[in-house]
A and B are shown apart, each in its own frame.
Chain A
Amino acid sequence: MWQIISGVFLGWSLGANDASNVFGTAVASRMVKFWTAAILCSVFVLLGAVLQGSGGMHTYKNLSSYGLNFAFIVSLSGALTVTVMTIWGLPVSTSQAVVGSMVAMGMLRNSIEWGGLTKVVLCWIGTPVGAMLIAIILYYVVGEIFNRIDFSLFMYDRVLRWGLIIAGSYGAYALGANNVANVTGPFVASGEITPQTGALIGGLSIGLGVITFSRTVMMTVGAGLVKLNAFSAFVVVLAEAITVHIYAEIGVPVSTSQAVVGAVLGIGIIRGVKTVNFGMLARIIFGWIGTPAISFALTWGITVAVMKAGIL
């Protein structure tokens, strides 16, 4: 079972990166201490993974199936792709990296399920679009409630601060529920571990990434989001959490980063400000195509090489 180490590594990097999408705003604006956010995030990621994470595992299981050593290569390629994309400064979608990797392995082993793949790819496109629509609806509905209540300066502050913490915790839950399949899904697909065990190991490794390495990314991504006012930031986090949670219910792992960008774009449409530029959109499109393509190529290359060398 040593092979699962690559999944744990992937989970760790996922936690380090994606915690910023749910708690970045609160931490970067110093509304919540890093440690408070990190602990809340880890706990809710684990809860989400254990209570609702098995849906994505089943999707991956339906996508392809193979042995433990191949699952190791799939996870390793996914993790390497995420690392390379991070170095290039491109938005990283662990889901897209893992699926690209799984498709390569499925094709090599003639076990690919094309129907499942279509569903997954459609969900990728639906993530930013869905988050954008949800953000627009939330902005108007919650905004109207705020306007009617006429909160005092301090009450407005308190409500938004708690809103960000609650939305962040919900986002962490949705992240765990949705993305845990990326971490241990390939191993569950190999049949070596149960979805429940996979969810527990995945949830713990994401939590470990949050606790040990997410501070820097939280500050960077969060500072970018803080340029929005607090109300818009709250709407963005909540819209992202709802979107990702919906996909967890459907059982398709999607990108929290792309959900955030979609939600920010929704705010931009309402407020008529330039919150997302074309460069950012180009990066998302590259993320849809480039990320799975790179991990596909890596898995293909590594698998062919080790098979030729007679290791597998």
Chain B
Amino acid sequence: MSPFFWNKSKSIEEMIESYMLSVDECIDAFREGLEKYLEVGSTEEFVVLNKKAHVAESRADDIRREIEFKLYGRALLPESRGDLLGMLESIDAIPGAAEGSINILYIERPVIPDFVKKVIPEILDVNIHAYSLIRKAVDAIMNNPRETLYIDKEIDSRESEADKMQQKILLDIFQSDLELAHKNQLKAFISSINKVSDRCQDSADRMSIIAIKRRI
């Protein structure tokens, strides 16, 4: 009986790791894609990175579904099953947000003015940092869940920081001489980048609840 139980949850742990690797790939492509677009615009290389983000996001989705099926096949306690499904769904929104953001560039090809170009890498960094903390939070859930509570606080700080930066650049955009449509287009793009840290915050909250629930 032991190998049966052990193997089932062992393979889920492995599947979660491969799921996270796909999410990593999507986030990397998102970061590289945005940097490339800011540098040289919508080139062949950018299109490849956009495609890469999309493929990695789809693969993550497939792995998540596979994990769900496995979980329903009695691999874990019902409460752990629910918590894990909730955690994966919340994480899944992160590559979804990243893919959505890079896709705005691919479809709309907005012209990014220089004063916006200077700030976007900073906003991007904060969002990428928030995701790297999610990566740590997932490791913590797998090893020492109490750690998740501290990571959640850090992610909260990153998310607030990203919000402040967004607020500032939007003020600058709307005070500029750009066309209203252009302003709105830039607003939508910048908001889409910050959705990554928003979703990271949601996911971290979810993981904190999982850790708190296991305190007796």
Residues of A whose CB lies within 8 Å of any CB of B are 29-31, 36, 139, 142-144, 146-147, 150-154, 156-158, 160-162, 165, 226, 229-231
Top 5 closest pairs, chain A to chain B, by CB = A143-B216, A30-B74, A157-B80, A230-B77, A29-B78
User: Smallest distance from the beta carbon of B208 to chain A beta carbons, Å?
Assistant: 13
Q: Is the pair B214, A151 in contact by a Cβ cutoff of 8 Å?
A: yes
Q: Looking at B79, B141, B215, which has the most chain A CB atoms within 10 Å of its CB?
A: B79
Which residues of B in the span 137-154 have a Cβ within 8 Å of any Cβ on A? 141-146
Q: Is the pair B77, A152 in contact by a Cβ cutoff of 8 Å?
A: no
Residues of the B chain whose Cβ atoms lie less than 8 Å from the Cβ of A157: 9, 76-77, 80
User: Smallest distance from the beta carbon of A229 to chain B beta carbons, Å?
Assistant: 6
Interface of B is mostly: helix
Residues of the B chain whose Cβ atoms lie less than 8 Å from the Cβ of A152: 141-145
Complex Cα distance, B141 from A35, in Å, reads 33
Interface size class of B (residues with CB under 8 A): 20 to 34
Residues of the B chain whose Cβ atoms lie less than 8 Å from the Cβ of A162: 5
Residues of B whose CB lies within 8 Å of any CB of A are 1, 5-6, 9, 12-13, 74, 76-80, 83-84, 141-146, 210, 213-216
Complex Cα distance, B128 from A235, in Å, reads 43
User: Smallest distance from the beta carbon of B12 to chain A beta carbons, Å?
Assistant: 8
Q: Is the pair A158, B6 in contact by a Cβ cutoff of 8 Å?
A: yes
11 extra interface residue pairs, beta carbon distance < 8 Å, beyond A30-B74, A153-B141, A230-B79: A36-B1, A146-B214, A147-B215, A150-B146, A151-B214, A153-B83, A154-B9, A154-B80, A157-B9, A158-B9, A161-B5
Complex Cα distance, B216 from A139, in Å, reads 8
Q: Is the pair B144, A150 in contact by a Cβ cutoff of 8 Å?
A: yes
Question: Which chain A residue shows the least CB distance to B10?
Answer: A154
Q: Can you sample 21 A-B contacts with CB below 8 Å? A: A29-B78, A30-B78, A143-B216, A146-B214, A147-B215, A150-B145, A152-B145, A153-B84, A153-B210, A154-B9, A154-B13, A154-B80, A154-B142, A157-B9, A158-B5, A161-B5, A161-B77, A162-B5, A226-B78, A230-B78, A230-B80
Complex Cα distance, B145 from A147, in Å, reads 11
User: Smallest distance from the beta carbon of B16 to chain A beta carbons, Å?
Assistant: 9
Q: Is the pair A31, B83 in contact by a Cβ cutoff of 8 Å?
A: no
Complex Cα distance, B210 from A157, in Å, reads 12
Complex Cα distance, B76 from A31, in Å, reads 7
Residue in contact with A156 in the complex, picked from B1, B6, B74, B80, CB distance below 8 Å: B80
Q: Is the pair B210, A31 in contact by a Cβ cutoff of 8 Å?
A: no
Complex Cα distance, B73 from A31, in Å, reads 10
User: Smallest distance from the beta carbon of B8 to chain A beta carbons, Å?
Assistant: 10
Residues of the B chain whose Cβ atoms lie less than 8 Å from the Cβ of A31: 74, 77
User: Smallest distance from the beta carbon of B81 to chain A beta carbons, Å?
Assistant: 9
Q: Is the pair A153, B142 in contact by a Cβ cutoff of 8 Å?
A: yes
Question: Which chain A residue shows the least CB distance to B78?
Answer: A29
Residues of the B chain whose Cβ atoms lie less than 8 Å from the Cβ of A154: 9, 12-13, 76, 80, 142
Complex Cα distance, B78 from A226, in Å, reads 9
Question: Which chain A residue shows the least CB distance to B72?
Answer: A30
Residue in contact with B77 in the complex, picked from A144, A160, A165, CB distance below 8 Å: A160
User: Smallest distance from the beta carbon of A308 to chain B beta carbons, Å?
Assistant: 57
Residues of the B chain whose Cβ atoms lie less than 8 Å from the Cβ of A142: 216
